[in-house]
Amino acid sequence: MTTNDMPRWATGFVLPVLNLLSALLVAALVIHMLGEDPVDSLRILVGSAILNPEGLSYTLFYASTFVFTGLAVSLAMQAGLFNIGAEGQMYFGGLGLTLAMLAFDASLPWWLLIPAGILGAALFGALWAFLPGYLQAKRGSHIVVTTIMFNFIAASLMNFIIVKYLIPPGEQNTASRVFSAAAEMPRLNAWFPVLGETPLNIGFFFAILALVVYGVVMTRSAWGYKVRALGLNQHAAHYAGVKISAMIIIVMALSGALAGLGAVNSIMGSTHYLSLNFVGGAGFIGIAIALMGRQHPVGILLSSVLFGALIQGGFDLSLEKPNIPTETFIFIQGLIILFCGAMENLYAPVIVKLAKKG
Amino acid sequence: MHPAVEFRGISKQFGAVKANTDVSFSIAKGAIHGLVGENGAGKSTLMSILYGYYRADSGDILLDGQVQSIHSSHQAIALGIGMVHQHFMLVENMTVLDNVMLGAEGGFKLAGQRAGVEAKLREICARYRLDVDPLATIADLSVGAQQRVEILKQIYRSANILILDEPTAVLTAQETASLFEILRLFKEQGKTIILITHKLQEIMDITDTVTVMRGGKVVGAVQTAQTSKEELANMMVGRPIENNLPRAAYNPGQPVLEVRDLELRDDNGVTLLNKLNFTLRAGEIVAIAGVSGNGQSELMEILSGMRLPTSGDLKFEGKPLPGSDPDRGRGDADGLPRTFRELGIGHVPEDRLRDGVIKGFSVMHNTFFGHQDDKALKNRWGLIDFKGIAERCAGLLQTFDVRPANPDLRIGLLSGGNQQKVVIAREVLANPKLMLVGQPTRGVDIGTIEAIHRQLLALRDAGMAILLVSVELEEVRALADRILVMCGGGITGELKIDEFDTTRIGLLMGGMHKS
């Protein structure tokens, strides 16, 4: 019994929703055991993350970053490559962006600085994924193993670079200097004052644009067709004339570039400096998003918003409910990965049975 | 005496498809019973019901006169039903002994049981002349021997009714003969055999009774002695089958493909292709006959660009093929199939599920697989022109009679014959000058075989050069203008079609070209 027997509306919509509900149900059970009311907690969560305009803007701000890491993992997944390294790639992308800013933020105007930052982030992210891609294509080193290792290498390397070179003299904070105001991406509260003190910036539109481009390329272009063929059947892809090793390298580099772009929203849109561990798990959340969104642009967007809402709502929840620690979010995230990734076909037999009867 | 198996009014429906409708027949104890029918006739569904994979919507199965409701294959095995699948269910890196014990362990500790099971296996092998070493590793065994392991497994689990699904599809003529010897011994021991096959000659050779299915229904139940291949074929298809298809007079044109001293060695230096020399001209079909595994697959891979030769010259329309020119180095076969295809070489691969289609793509998405970079398939934005492709696909499904003619269905859900029609149609539509065709009718039913053969002959008549690899001598005889026989990676002989002689080809296939 596989998902192949199932109609598309079931695999694309019903299953993810059922899996998500299962994860939330288990989370509710745990919240109950912590001595808090799950229904009330859900009310706080939704109120804080969705209904309140300022909260919603935070949700969308987090989602803008997650869209890029989710796209990074999704693109590689379409080619049959499990890129676990979006975390390190985004971290390294942040370095590329920062180097570009430190070099130019005094001299260039904002409309050149933003593209420069984007380019720096994409290039460095691509480089960090190119190496595992090359090793997979030419040397057969498994991408899962190498990208995990590259996460650790990135963490150590960035630690070294930030501490040794980027901390301004006399500062204690493990971060680069703050960029000039010209390097700040315009925030949306300039046009929508209702959003309040929000970090939500035009990076959100970049994320939507990236989703659209990704969707068109994957489903409408010959290149996307070849990527998907490679992911489904490498032998047949070879028969069809796909350059397998070149394709693996290119897809990984692009995947890394997308992950690197995640840094644009979180650095140029919000903090305006590079700090230690600024990625904060966004790369790993990208894996969950790609699995839950089934590598579909709409799915990636919805999952990104969901994870953004969980973070935003989770903060307020832990403030209002002292028994619920902030780690609860990580716990719920783990449940979602468990239900949507590892056990994604848990309900498939039931759906197949119902579909047959109907 | 009760029959070993009796089907009474079995019906089974999948969605809108009626796989079995009111199927009733019985199989006598100790008989070899043939079950024939085209792809999608409902044979597999019926056997899956007998083996407990599916449950019938209505109807009864009687074993030895008792109504049994079989819920699972576990239960089927307990009732003495054994099944040998077309694709073997063996763990390659385990021994025969371990494979037999797998799923039939007598307890947690294996060590103590091994000796006993091994002795029993040796006893069974001797009794049925199975010729399998219980301590051999599966991966080291030939395909024929692996199949005997499957049979051994069923006997060990005391199967009295043995279902064999297309058992000879992967066997050589000699292996088939020895399989039939084993089946006859089985019969002498009072066991019942159900044989599913496309090959009517085998039905005539070994079965006692035959049931013919078409469209989910039983359309004939006969004694083998009282029927003929032709009658069976007509019942299966529902219309008379043409054996000698019309073709234009043999009039070959310019050389299209010239192969000179082609050699291929693997990484260990083992010779896979040994100094091949031949020329293929426009408007002729050259068939490569031989037992599978004698270099035909490697030759096709090289000619389609999927693999690079070790040495030798390949010329296509008088020009060296890329990657085959020793002066310019050999490099990498990555991406080479695209170059070859653009030069005008079409390729219907031997293993269509491995190479020829993407099972998870729709039928429509498979109709331009390999041709995705063609300019003609793109719109002015450089994107794939799905509107044009949809129209093209609709025409293709109709012209080549692909059933069901639903472009959005995943191709993996089509029967093998219909998948093959899509692959052939796709390659034909590109209008190549040279068409490489590997095992075009493997696992394909009679009606479709005829359609595919007609198609290939029409292309030949239109001036295409066709290189056919087939292990079916019937197919070679039906299509070829010239026959090259391969054995051990070399060409052992060449015949014109009017010199066709099964005995001589058989000797050449065995490498006995000197005698």
Q: Which residues span the domain enclosing B268?
A: 242-344+432-515
Assigned domain for B193 exists = yes
Q: Are residues B222 and B315 in the same domain?
A: no
Looking from the CA of B322 toward its CB, the CA atoms found within 13 Å total 18
Strand partners for B494: B484
What is residue B165's DSSP assignment? Answer: E
**Kind plus residue range of the DSSP H or E element containing A95:** helix A86-104
Cis peptide before A38 (omega within 30 of 0): no
- How much is the pLDDT for A357? 63
**Cβ-defined contact of B370 to A216 (cutoff 8 Å):** no
How many residues would you count in chain A?
358
A133: phi then psi, degrees, rounded to nearest 5: -60, -45
Q: Are residues A329 and A302 in the same domain?
A: no
Lowest mean pLDDT among A110-124, A157-171, B146-160: B146-160
Lowest mean pLDDT among A296-305, B79-88, B359-368: B79-88
CA B290 to the chain's CA centroid: 15
- Is pLDDT of B449 > 50? yes
Using 50, 70 and 90 to split pLDDT, how confident is the model at A124? very high
Q: Are residues B21 and B122 in the same domain?
A: yes
Residue B347 forms contact with A (CB below 8 Å): yes
User: Which of these three, B237, B260, B283, is where a domain ends?
Assistant: B237
Q: Are residues A338 and A219 in the same domain?
A: no
Judging contacts by C-beta atoms under 8 Å, the chain B residues touching residue A243 are 334-335
- Is pLDDT of B445 > 80? no
Strand partners for B83: B163
Using 50, 70 and 90 to split pLDDT, how confident is the model at A10? confident
Residues 400-419 on B with a CB inside 8 Å of A are 410, 412-413
Assigned domain for A156 exists = yes
- How much is the pLDDT for A2? 42
SS3 content of chain A, % helix, strand, coil (to 5): 75, 0, 20
Nearest to A239 among B356, B372, B386 (CB): B356
**Kind plus residue range of the DSSP H or E element containing B503:** helix B502-509
- Is pLDDT of A3 > 70? no
Whole-number Cα distances in Å, A35 to A47, A315, B7: 21, 18, 61
Assigned domain for B350 exists = no
Residue B334 forms contact with A (CB below 8 Å): yes
Q: Is the dihedral of CA A15, A17, A22, A27 positive or negative?
A: positive
What is residue A317's DSSP assignment? Answer: H
How many angstroms separate the CA atoms of B511 and B515, rounded?
10
User: Which of these three, B208, B237, B266, is where a domain ends?
Assistant: B237
Assigned domain for A176 exists = yes
Report the domain count for chain B.
3
**Average pLDDT of the segment spanning A254-262:** 98
Q: Are residues B78 and B38 in the same domain?
A: yes
How many angstroms separate the CA atoms of A342 and A303, rounded?
16
Render pLDDT for B237-254 as a digit per residue (tens, 0 to 9): 887 777 788 888 999 999
Q: Check: CB of residue A333 under 8 Å from CB of residue A288.
A: yes
Q: Which of B441, B450, B444 lies closest to B468, judged by CA?
A: B441
**Average pLDDT of the segment spanning B128-148:** 87
Identify from B304, B362, B371, B373 which residue to disrupt to test chain A contact, counting A C-beta atoms within 10 A and taking the largest count: B373
Edge to edge, what strands does the sheet with B465-469 contain? B345-348, B434-438, B465-469, B285-289, B482-487, B490-496
The tokens 């030798």 sit on which residue?
B312
- How much is the pLDDT for B424? 95
Q: Are residues A350 and A211 in the same domain?
A: no
Provide Rg for chain B, Cα atoms: 25
Residue B373's contacts (CB-CB under 8 Å, 6 or more residues apart) are A222, A241, B338
- Is pLDDT of A1 > 50? no
- How much is the pLDDT for B139? 87
Q: Are residues B231 and B142 in the same domain?
A: yes
Q: Which tokens go with A257?
A: 């570039």
Q: Which of B514, B506, B446 lies closest to B172, judged by CA?
A: B506
Assigned domain for A168 exists = yes
Q: Are residues A13 and A152 in the same domain?
A: no
Within 10 Å of residue B145's Cβ, how many Cβ atoms? 18
- Is pLDDT of B150 > 70? yes
- Is pLDDT of B515 > 50? no
Q: What is the DSSP string of B248-274?
A: ------SEEEEEEEEEEE-TT--EEEE
Edge to edge, what strands does the sheet with B311-316 contain? B271-281, B255-265, B311-316, B319-320
Residue A340's contacts (CB-CB under 8 Å, 6 or more residues apart) are A16, A19, A20, A23, A288, A291, A292
Q: Are residues B38 and B148 in the same domain?
A: yes
- How much is the pLDDT for B166? 84
Q: Are residues A208 and A339 in the same domain?
A: no
Residue B367 forms contact with A (CB below 8 Å): no
Within 10 Å of residue A103's Cβ, how many Cβ atoms? 12
- Top-ranked range on mean pLDDT: pick from A10-19, B298-307, B397-406: B298-307
Q: What is the DSSP string of B62-88?
A: EETTEEE---SHHHHHHTTEEEE-SS-
Render pLDDT for B164-179 as a digit per residue (tens, 0 to 9): 988 887 777 778 888 8
Edge to edge, what strands does the sheet with B209-214 contain? B81-84, B161-165, B192-196, B32-37, B209-214, B217-223
- How much is the pLDDT for A73? 98
- Is pLDDT of B144 > 50? yes
The tokens 């007079």 sit on which residue?
B249
CATH number for the domain spanning A290: value is: 1.10.3470
- Top-ranked range on mean pLDDT: pick from A12-26, B119-133, B375-389: B375-389
Averaged pLDDT of chain A: 91
Q: Check: CB of residue A2 under 8 Å from CB of residue A345.
A: yes
CATH number for the domain spanning B133: value is: 3.40.50.300
- How much is the pLDDT for B489? 92
**Average pLDDT of the segment spanning B319-337:** 72
Q: Are residues A329 and A213 in the same domain?
A: no
Render pLDDT for A130-145 as a digit per residue (tens, 0 to 9): 999 999 999 999 999 9
- How much is the pLDDT for B192? 94
* B208 Rama class: left (phi>0) / alpha (psi -120 to 50) / beta: alpha
- Is pLDDT of B229 > 50? yes
Q: Which residues span the domain enclosing A342?
A: 1-36+321-358
Q: Is the dihedral of CA A250, A253, A259, A264 positive or negative?
A: negative
Assigned domain for B351 exists = no
- How much is the pLDDT for A6? 65
| % of chain B at pLDDT higher than 70 | 97
Q: Are residues A123 and A239 in the same domain?
A: yes
What is residue B164's DSSP assignment? Answer: E
* A309 Rama class: left (phi>0) / alpha (psi -120 to 50) / beta: alpha
- Is pLDDT of B324 > 70? no
- How much is the pLDDT for B495? 93
Render pLDDT for A260-316 as a digit per residue (tens, 0 to 9): 999 999 999 999 999 999 999 999 999 989 988 889 999 999 999 999 999 998 888
Q: What angle do CA A66, A67, A72 make, to 5 degrees?
A: 95
**Cβ-defined contact of A232 to B359 (cutoff 8 Å):** yes
Q: Enumerate chain A positions whose Cβ falls within 8 A of a Cβ in B.
A: 4, 216, 220-222, 225-226, 228-229, 232-233, 235-236, 238-246, 356
- Is pLDDT of A103 > 50? yes
Lowest mean pLDDT among A15-19, B152-156, B393-397: A15-19
What is residue A271's DSSP assignment? Answer: I
Q: Which tokens go with B116?
A: 């006993």
Render pLDDT for B16-72 as a digit per residue (tens, 0 to 9): 678 899 999 999 999 999 999 877 788 888 999 999 988 899 999 999 999 998 888
Nearest to B355 among A228, A235, A242 (CB): A235
Q: Which tokens go with A238?
A: 């070879």
Q: Are residues A229 and A268 in the same domain?
A: yes
**Cβ-defined contact of A240 to B413 (cutoff 8 Å):** no
Nearest to B383 among A221, A228, A246 (CB): A221
- Is pLDDT of A152 > 80? yes
Q: Are residues B512 and B403 in the same domain?
A: no
User: Which of these three, B237, B257, B283, is where a domain ends?
Assistant: B237
Q: Are residues B324 and B466 in the same domain?
A: yes
Report the domain count for chain A.
2
Render pLDDT for B455-477 as a digit per residue (tens, 0 to 9): 999 999 999 999 999 988 889 99
Q: Are residues B413 and B446 in the same domain?
A: no
Q: Are residues A69 and A158 in the same domain?
A: yes
- Is pLDDT of A5 > 60? no
Assigned domain for B460 exists = yes
Q: Check: CB of residue B5 under 8 Å from CB of residue B26.
A: yes
Residue B378 forms contact with A (CB below 8 Å): yes
Q: Are residues A127 and A188 in the same domain?
A: yes
Q: Are residues B9 and B107 in the same domain?
A: yes
Render pLDDT for A165-206 as a digit per residue (tens, 0 to 9): 999 998 889 999 999 999 999 999 989 888 888 999 999 999
How many angstroms separate the CA atoms of A294 and A300, rounded?
7
**Cβ-defined contact of A226 to B365 (cutoff 8 Å):** no
Assigned domain for A45 exists = no
Q: Are residues A167 and A312 in the same domain?
A: yes
Q: Are residues B130 and B230 in the same domain?
A: yes
Provide Rg for chain A, Cα atoms: 21
Cβ pairs A/B, distance under 8 A: 77
Q: Are residues B184 and B36 in the same domain?
A: yes
Which residue of chain A is at minimal alpha-carbon distance from B54? A1
Q: Are residues B320 and B405 in the same domain?
A: no
Judging contacts by C-beta atoms under 8 Å, the chain B residues touching residue A228 are 358, 361
Which residue of chain B is at minimal alpha-carbon distance from A222? B372
Judging contacts by C-beta atoms under 8 Å, the chain A residues touching residue B412 are 4
Assigned domain for A49 exists = no
Within 10 Å of residue A59's Cβ, how many Cβ atoms? 25
CA B29 to the chain's CA centroid: 30
Q: What is the pTM of this model?
A: 0.82
ipTM reported for the complex, 2 dp: 0.86
Q: Are residues A149 and A196 in the same domain?
A: yes
